[in-house]
A = this chain, B = another copy of it.
Amino acid sequence: MKKTDVLIIGGGPAGIIAATTAKHTYPDKDVLLIRKEKEVLIPCGIPYIFGTLENSDQDVIPDTILSKDGVHLEIDEVISVNRKDKIARTVNGIDISFEKLVFATGSISYVPQWLKGTELENVFTVKKNREYLDEVKVKLQHCKRIVVIGGGFIGVEISDELNKIGKDVTIVEVLPHILCLAMDREIAIEAEKVIRARGVKLKTGIGAKEISGNGNVTGVLLENGEKVMCDMVILAIGYRPNSSLAKEAKLRIGYKGAIWVDEYMRTDDPDIFAVGDCVEKKCFVTRKLINVMLASTAASEARIAGENLYKLGVVKTFSGTIAIFSTVIGDTGFGSAGLTEEQAKKEGFDIVVGTSDSIDKHPGILSGAHKQKVKLVVAKKSGVILGGYVMGGISTGELINIIGMAIQNRMTVNSFLSLQIGTHPLLTASPMTYPIIKTAESLTWKVELGFRKEERQCQNGMKKGGISNE
Chain A contact residues, CB within 8 Å of chain B: 13, 16-17, 21, 24-28, 42, 44-45, 48, 52-53, 58-61, 65, 284, 294-300, 303-304, 307, 310-311, 313, 315-319, 321-322, 324-328, 333, 335, 337, 362-363, 365-367, 394-402, 404-406, 408-409, 411, 414, 417-428, 430-432, 434, 437, 441, 445, 452, 455-456, 459-460, 466-467, 469
Contact = CB atoms under 8 A, between A and B. Distances in A.
Contacts of A28: 456, 459-460, 466-467
A303 B400 CA distance: 23
B427 A326 contact: yes
Contacts of A42: 362-363, 425, 430
A328 B426 CA distance: 7
Contact of A363 (B53, B307, B426, B431): B53
B299 A432 contact: yes
A294 B422 CA distance: 8
Given A294-B422, A296-B431, A300-B420, 20 more contacts: A17-B431, A24-B441, A25-B452, A27-B466, A28-B460, A45-B363, A48-B366, A295-B423, A295-B431, A299-B432, A300-B418, A303-B418, A310-B459, A394-B426, A397-B422, A397-B424, A398-B399, A402-B402, A404-B421, A405-B419
B394 A394 contact: yes
A59 B398 contact: no
Contacts of A304: 417-418
B324 A417 contact: no
Contacts of A58: 363, 365
| Most chain B beta-carbon neighbours within 10 Å: one of A60, A363, A430, A459 | A363
14 contacts: A13-B431, A26-B456, A28-B466, A53-B363, A296-B431, A316-B414, A316-B418, A322-B420, A326-B427, A395-B395, A395-B398, A397-B428, A401-B421, A402-B402
Contact of A394 (B25, B27, B53, B395): B395
Given A13-B431, A398-B399, A398-B402, A319 B422 contact: no
Q: Across chains A and B, which 4 residue pairs bring their CB atoms closest together, nearest first? A: A397-B427, A324-B422, A398-B398, A299-B431
Contacts of A303: 417-418, 437, 441
A431 B298 contact: yes
A329 to B, nearest CB: 10
Nearest to A430: B42
Contacts of A313: 414
